[in-house]
């Protein structure tokens, strides 16, 4: 009996509630103690529990009293349980006669209850929902995305998506979801291209917004069973990237002679200055640096290092960003001065990058409009590449996905430290 499990020697019937029944039974697991020490009796009890649970679920399906969107979701799930795709009545009417008869005759007793009619004969219309209602729905359906985000990360995640949905509505009108067409998404694409031509945004920004919009519409459609053809609606909407808009890296000599020259940074506040030095020598993003806790900064070690990880109310861009980075050169000096991290900017990466960026611009320390403080991360990658660091080491230090099949735990701290020593900026500045 596959649902029979033993916990500390005691038998239990444990079964996950099928996804198709979530609209009826909201529990994740059903756990029932079988109260016997005999294996044979436990097996029989588990079979009996399983029969009772299946009968209970059938009763829920027959007697559902939900309505509106919940009732529609329930009808879709019930249809799937009985072996059918769900169609509304107007779509059912277009089916071949043999398919219609199969739906009617699927009940062994030839008795169609109200709920069975809803499920197999399309008795519940698709819910009506306007685009202006999408954001609230998407917010509810994406709780898992925000579970470990800080307040600042939630703000940065939330606000662009609200604006994108608002722009989409302004572009095509506040339509019913069921009335969305390919022409609507093409109109939005053309609107984005007009913005690029006017110099308001770059291609990469437009593509990101198109992807965000697709994700929001697809998430709501999936959860409400709207059955929108997302693949067709958003087919080939991504725009080609203009290489001229790419952020440029700094030359290593420019970083040491100009950007990190103490005389040029004399007016910058000490903590922001230390963070800039740490960023230049580790390639860790500002959000990663300001999310470090004291226990993530290990200085009392043969190889001093920082641990970039997720923790409560602090998430990372991707799972690959979880990594350990050895501290060398300028970064080691910075963390010795701030062993508890950059506490004035804790979980405020925009404040840190904004302060650094403003200072560098006002003091004319950026060589072009295509350079920004974040260009230092690109420079870090370039130094690794030019030093011929192994691809796995580069990926492990940058927090990138390793493109080939991965085996083992990746490069160790000692190996990473050897390559970090080879590319450290402080060594270059002392030559």
User: Of the residues 207, 230, 245, which one is the last residue of a structural domain?
Assistant: 245
The stretch 111-124 carries a mean pLDDT of: 50
The answer to whether residues 141 and 177 belong to one domain is yes
pTM of the predicted structure, to 2 decimals: 0.55
Q: In which domain, by residue range, is 104 found?
A: 68-120
pLDDT digits (tens, 9 = 90+) for 45-103: 888 777 767 766 665 665 554 434 555 566 666 666 555 565 555 565 566 766 666 66
User: Of the residues 245, 270, 289, which one is the last residue of a structural domain?
Assistant: 245
As a whole number of angstroms, the distance between CA 100 and CA 327 comes to 69
Most confidently modeled of 4-8, 24-28, 299-303?
299-303
The stretch 10-23 carries a mean pLDDT of: 81
The answer to whether residues 344 and 260 belong to one domain is yes
pLDDT exceeds cutoff 50 at 108: no
- Tell whether 126 is covered by a domain: no
> What is the average pLDDT score of the chain?
81
The answer to whether residues 201 and 262 belong to one domain is no
The single-letter DSSP state of residue 356 is: H
Helix (H, G, I), strand (E, B) or coil at 15: strand
- Tell whether 222 is covered by a domain: yes
Nearest-CA neighbor of 287 among 154, 137, 431, 179? 154
The answer to whether residues 32 and 171 belong to one domain is no
- Tell whether 125 is covered by a domain: no
The answer to whether residues 270 and 382 belong to one domain is yes
| pLDDT attached to residue 202 | 82
- Tell whether 10 is covered by a domain: yes
pLDDT digits (tens, 9 = 90+) for 230-289: 989 999 898 876 544 567 889 999 999 999 999 999 999 999 999 999 999 998 988 899
Specify the number of domains making up the chain: 4
The answer to whether residues 386 and 274 belong to one domain is yes
The answer to whether residues 135 and 199 belong to one domain is yes
| pLDDT attached to residue 66 | 41
The answer to whether residues 202 and 301 belong to one domain is no
* CB-facing half-sphere around the CA of 193: CA atoms within 13 A: 10
For tokens 């999408």, what's the residue?
134
User: Of the residues 198, 229, 245, which one is the last residue of a structural domain?
Assistant: 245
Residues 6+ apart with CB under 8 A from 347: 150, 151, 152, 153, 290, 291, 313, 314
pLDDT digits (tens, 9 = 90+) for 150-204: 888 888 899 999 999 999 999 999 998 888 999 999 999 999 988 887 778 888 8
The answer to whether residues 305 and 337 belong to one domain is yes
């Amino acid at each position: 009996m596959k649902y029979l499990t033993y916990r500390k020697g005691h038998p239990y019937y444990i079964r996950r509630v099928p996804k198709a029944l979530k609209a009826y039974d909201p529990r994740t697991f059903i756990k029932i103690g079988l109260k016997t020490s005999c294996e044979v009796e436990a097996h029989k009890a588990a079979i009996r529990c399983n029969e009772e649970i299946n009968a209970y679920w059938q009763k829920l399906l027959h007697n559902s009293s939900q309505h509106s969107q919940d009732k529609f979701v329930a009808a879709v799930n019930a249809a799937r349980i009985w072996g059918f795709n769900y169609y509304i009545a107007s779509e059912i009417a277009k089916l071949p006669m043999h398919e219609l008869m199969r739906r009617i005759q699927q009940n062994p007793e030839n008795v169609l209850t109200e709920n069975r009619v809803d499920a197999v004969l399309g008795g519940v219309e698709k819910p009506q929902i306007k685009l202006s209602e999408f954001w609230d729905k998407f917010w509810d359906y994406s709780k898992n995305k925000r579970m470990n985000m800080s307040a600042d990360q939630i703000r940065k995640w939330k606000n662009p998506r609200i604006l994108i949905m608002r722009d989409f509505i302004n572009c095509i009108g506040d339509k019913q979801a069921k009335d969305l067409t390919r022409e609507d998404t093409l109109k939005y694409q053309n609107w984005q291209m007009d913005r690029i031509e006017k110099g308001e945004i770059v291609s990469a920004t437009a593509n990101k917004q198109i992807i965000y919009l697709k994700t929001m519409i697809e998430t709501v459609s999936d959860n409400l069973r709207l059955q929108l053809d997302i693949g067709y609606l958003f087919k080939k909407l991504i725009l080609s990237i203009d290489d001229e808009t790419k952020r440029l890296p700094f030359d290593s000599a420019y970083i040491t002679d100009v950007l990190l020259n103490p005389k040029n940074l004399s007016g910058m506040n000490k903590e922001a200055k230390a963070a800039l030095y740490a960023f230049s020598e580790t390639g860790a993003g500002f959000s990663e640096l300001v999310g470090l806790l004291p226990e993530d900064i290990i200085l009392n070690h043969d190889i001093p290092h920082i641990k970039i990880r997720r923790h409560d109310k602090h998430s990372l861009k991707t799972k690959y960003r979880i990594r350990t980075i050895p501290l060398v050169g300028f970064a080691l000096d910075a963390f010795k001065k701030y062993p508890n991290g950059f506490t004035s900017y804790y979980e405020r990466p925009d404040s840190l990058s904004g302060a650094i960026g403003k200072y560098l611009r006002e003091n004319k320390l950026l060589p072009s409009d295509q350079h920004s403080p974040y260009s230092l991360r690109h420079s870090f990658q370039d130094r690794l590449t030019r030093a011929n660091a192994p691809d796995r080491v580069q990926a492990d230090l940058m927090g990138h996905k390793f493109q080939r099949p991965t085996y083992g735990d990746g490069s160790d701290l000692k190996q990473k430290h050897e390559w970090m020593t080879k590319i450290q900026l402080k060594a270059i500045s002392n030559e």
